């Protein structure tokens, strides 16, 4: 069996979620099938990958960190150009199916399907609605997502939450959607046992964007600080709402109790997770929520919004409506007060999160391929 994967980024050139996913999932599948991964040609691509990498040279637009240049006219132009170049460069010989990832690559898959009759699988890692935080989603991107959902023979969604969005927003046929949860690499995390002695630190970690709900974190923090004056709040990460959230902290009078760390490396994030009593993700719309799994694997209990996809598969978390800052504060306070609960939820959560493996994701993905 040979699969053509249309990707967008690969570590080390980028280490966004999509690149990490591509390496982990297709690195494992490469053991049992031939895989070509198409990506835009980038200077910092590595030399050795577990699969065959097909760099595609772009002629228009600029390829940089997609998260930073999104919104520039060049970004869309680059995306359009990439999809056309992939079609040109595509080698259909022996390819059983094409697997595209997110709207950035859907068009190429549709064109290949049309031209060569090769079945198309697409994965939704997120939807435009998620990325916009439910606020003013871009119509043209939504229409790319809709077209992809209609054309594809099979759809993979990273959560049931995302599956439901695709059905609701794009009228996708539920029969052809399969949920495949992301995995996590256990070996990268230290599993040293924790004492769960209080650190009195409450953590927000992730991109500081509307989608992830950092303002709700700050509002809950303010309520907690009224009742527990010695608690500190940590906002780790950067994003387009960074200044806005700092301003909000100041307005709420908790700047002095909040540490804004800016961007944190993976290594640093491990320390931050482990030195916090509780992790909070009040995301407005989060298709999966990798940080939840990371936090749990490190033994830090998590409070997450009901609109965070991974929550549907977790028992050892507390779930809230993202806007219910009073309840978030209530749960944070309980977590800070009771070591017994931190310890049980932390250790049970560690075991639970360890079940999200890339091996399982690979097997489930294989099942989708074989169903065609």
Given the rule CB under 8 A, which residues bind other proteins?
223, 227, 315-316, 318, 326-327, 329-331, 333-334, 337-341, 343-345, 348, 351-352
In the bound state with other proteins, the residue whose beta carbon lies nearer, of 219 and 333, is 333
CA 331 vs. chain centroid, Å, equals 24
Of 138 and 334, CB closest to other proteins: 334
Q: Which is nearer to other proteins, 233 or 331 (CB)?
A: 331
Closest approach, Cβ 297 to other proteins, in A, equals 15
Task: Select 348 or 366, whichever has its Cβ closest to other proteins.
Answer: 348
Over the Cα atoms of the chain, what is R_g?
21
Q: CB nearer to other proteins: give 75 or 196.
A: 196
List all residues 6 or more positions away from 124 whose beta carbon is below 8 Å from its beta carbon: 102, 145, 149, 155, 156, 157, 158, 162, 166, 287
Count of other CB atoms within 10 angstroms of residue 290: 18
3 state SS of 177: strand
The least CB distance from residue 331 to other proteins, in Å, is 7
**How far apart, in whole angstroms, are the C-alpha atoms of residue 191 and residue 20?**
21
- Minimum separation from the CB atom of position 62 to other proteins (A): 47
Distance CA 79, CA 8 (A): 9
Q: Burial-class residue 50 by CB neighbours within 10 Å (0-12, 13-18, 19+).
A: middle
Q: How far is the CB of 195 from other proteins (least distance, A)?
A: 13
For the bound state, the minimum distance from the C-beta of residue 332 to other proteins, rounded and expressed in Å, comes to 10
Nearest-approach distance from CB 335 to other proteins, in angstroms? 9
- Minimum CB distance to other proteins smaller for 128 or for 222: 222
Instruction: Report the alpha-carbon angle 269-228-255, nearest 5.
Output: 60
């Amino acid at each position: 069996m040979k699969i053509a994967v249309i990707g967008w980024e690969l570590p080390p050139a980028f280490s966004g979620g999509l690149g990490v996913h591509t390496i982990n999932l297709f690195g494992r599948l490469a053991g049992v099938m031939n895989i070509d991964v198409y990506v835009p040609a980038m200077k910092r691509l590595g030399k050795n990958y577990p699969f065959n990498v097909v760099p595609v040279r772009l002629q228009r637009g600029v390829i940089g960190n997609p998260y930073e240049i999104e919104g520039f006219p060049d970004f869309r132009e680059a995306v359009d150009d990439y999809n056309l170049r992939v079609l040109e460069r595509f080698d259909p010989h022996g390819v059983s199916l094409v697997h595209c990832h997110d709207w950035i690559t859907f068009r190429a898959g549709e064109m290949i399907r049309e031209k060569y009759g090769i079945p198309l699988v697409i994965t939704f890692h997120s939807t435009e609605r998620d990325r916009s935080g439910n606020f003013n989603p871009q119509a043209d991107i939504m229409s790319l997502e809709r077209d992809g959902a209609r054309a594809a023979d099979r759809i993979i969604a990273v959560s049931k939450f995302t599956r439901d969005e695709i059905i609701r927003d794009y009228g996708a046929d539920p029969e052809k959607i399969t949920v495949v949860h992301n995995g996590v690499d256990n070996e990268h995390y230290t599993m040293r046992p924790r004492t769960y002695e209080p650190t009195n630190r409450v953590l927000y970690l992730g991109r500081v964007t509307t989608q992830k709900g950092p303002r709700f974190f700050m509002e809950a923090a303010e309520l907690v600080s009224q009742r527990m004056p010695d608690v500190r709040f940590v906002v780790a990460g950067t994003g387009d709402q960074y200044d806005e959230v700092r301003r909000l902290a100041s307005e709420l009078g908790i700047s002095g109790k909040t540490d804004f760390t800016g961007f944190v490396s993976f290594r640093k994030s491990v320390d931050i997770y482990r030195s916090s009593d509780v992790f909070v993700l009040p995301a407005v719309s989060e298709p999966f929520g990798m940080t939840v799994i990371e936090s749990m694997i490190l033994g830090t209990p998590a409070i997450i919004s009901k609109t965070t996809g991974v929550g549907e598969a977790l028992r050892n978390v507390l779930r809230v409506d993202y806007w219910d800052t009073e309840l978030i504060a209530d749960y944070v306070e309980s977590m800070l007060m009771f070591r017994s609960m931190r310890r049980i939820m932390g250790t049970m959560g560690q075991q639970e999160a360890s079940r999200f493996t890339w091996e399982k994701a690979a097997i489930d993905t294989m099942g989708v391929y074989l169903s065609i």
